Amino acid sequence: MKRKLVVLLTAAMVSGLVFAGCGSTEETVSTDASAETEETAEDADQAAADEVAAMIDAIYVQEWTEETEEQCAAAKAAWDALTDAQKELVEGENADPDYFGRDTGDASQDDPRNQDGIGENEILVVSFGTSYNDSRATDIRGVEDAIEAAYPDWSVRRAFTSQIIINHVLARDGESIDNVDQALARAVDNGVKNLVVQPTHLMHGAEYDELMETLAEYEDQFESVSVAEPLLGEVGDDATVINEDKAAVAKAVTAAAVADSGYDSLDAAAGDGVAYVFMGHGTSHTAKVSYSQMQTQMDKLGYDNVFIGTVEGEPEDTACEAVIEAVESAGYTKVVLRPLMVVAGDHANNDMAGDDEDSWLSMFEASGSFESVDTQIAGLGRIDAVQELYAAHTAAAIDAAGSSTAAEAQNEADASVLEDGVYIADFTTDSSMFHVNEAYDGKGTLTVENGEMVIHISLVSQNIVNLYTGTAEDAQKDGADLIEPTEDTVTYSDGTTEVVYGFDVPVAALDEEFDLAIIGTKGTWYDHKVSVSNPEPAE
């Protein structure tokens, strides 16, 4: 009986273990299935986010194509279709949740100024651009509105140089802004005759150079083209060079910063230990000296508690670390950071005032040298005095365009005075080494045909081998149209003859100096000024 009882107990125990084991297996299977379902959902979320990230990266480019509008619309639609959780997963080479998700203000407050039917006179305001709606409407539109108010007889239009920003605004807000090519083509299509271009760039830097290259491809499609100065005017050779434009900007941005920080004057702020740091972009272009010149300008104005820095740290003494050291060495205990940029966009909000450890705000705070570090998110474009300075630059360009148009009209009038025919005219140069052969007493043969004038001059020898209507620098560029010599036989007063080189020189206008470069047998180009005057009919 005892043996049978043991067997039964053993069987019961085994049976219990078996049943217990079965129960555990069901629970494990259920848990695994749940984990697998959760993992599948996470993968699906990430896949959806990755697809949107790829679409954002595809439009985060500095190039416009025929597919760009469609790509921008598709990217926005795909973003809108994501859940909030999926949006947080968007991460690409340039993509992140802020691309569509950041609130930068109301885009409807802006005006892209891309209307047609604008008349014959256009002022094209060219900016780098910003995707920050509030700044675009306040800073860039502020400048455009001021120019429009100053010149109501001209149509003011806009172009951005950053296609990346243009695409961002188009995709997120549905606002279409022209790039420079599109704006110039629009002007041509609109029948614009007189074009004035006002860059909102700070200086003659890389963006300005690229603008000029693009403009050169269109300028022959307008009757007159004039380009206004950027905000800080001419660059100059070194850090000591300052001008009225730099002084005006220095005064304007400092006054605005002082007022916004609640002080009655810069001296009052200095007395309270406050230093103002204005952060520009910085550049490797030779125009970077402009930032050093702005520091010189601040010093010349006696603004001892004002410092100039740059995001890029070029020039080197404008790097954040260098500026922190300079402010600390000067003994100031409080700092106000403000952008030295036309717009308060990404650089102002992130590089200057962001939460990342490499922002200027974070680096100034981390130095432990200051009681307080405050930021002012405000672009130069919203300051009245800056808007007035841009308008003044535009006025100078309009005046230049008017003068140029008047000169061209006078040239045409001069040419029309002379009927088609052959004349003897004075050919005057600025050098005793370059002149007409003595046998012709400083005169050449001027031929007028269909209103176009060409003067033939015989020189003193064959030492000058080519001429070029323009500067020596341009003469050396590929494709320069050099004037080839002819062989002229001249007879001197004593009856002797000599074979010399002669040249047919186009003449745009009488009684006006023009550039005429020469190159001799030694292969060096030289600049000269010449003029043609006093035409008399040839006998």
Catalytically annotated residue among 168, 201, 281, 435: 281
Strand (E) or helix (H) holding 54: helix 2-59
Q: What are 381's two structure tokens?
A: 């474009």
Q: In angstroms, rounded to a whole number, what is the distance separating the alpha carbons of residues 1 and 11?
A: 15
| H helix intervals, 196-317 | 206-216, 244-260, 266-271, 289-300
Whether the CA torsion 392, 395, 397, 399 is positive or negative: it is negative
Q: In angstroms, rounded to a whole number, what is the distance separating the alpha carbons of residues 41 and 307?
A: 53
Peptide bond into 537 cis (omega under 30): no
Q: Is 456 a catalytic residue?
A: no
Whether the CA torsion 463, 468, 470, 473 is positive or negative: it is negative
Q: In angstroms, rounded to a whole number, what is the distance separating the alpha carbons of residues 442 and 243?
A: 43
Radius of gyration, alpha carbons of the chain: 36
Q: Are 71 and 170 in contact (CB under 8 A)?
A: no
Whether the CA torsion 356, 360, 366, 371 is positive or negative: it is negative
CA distances from 173 to 105, 168, 299 (A): 10, 8, 43
Q: Are 436 and 459 in contact (CB under 8 A)?
A: yes
Report, as residue numbers or ranges, the catalytic residues. 281
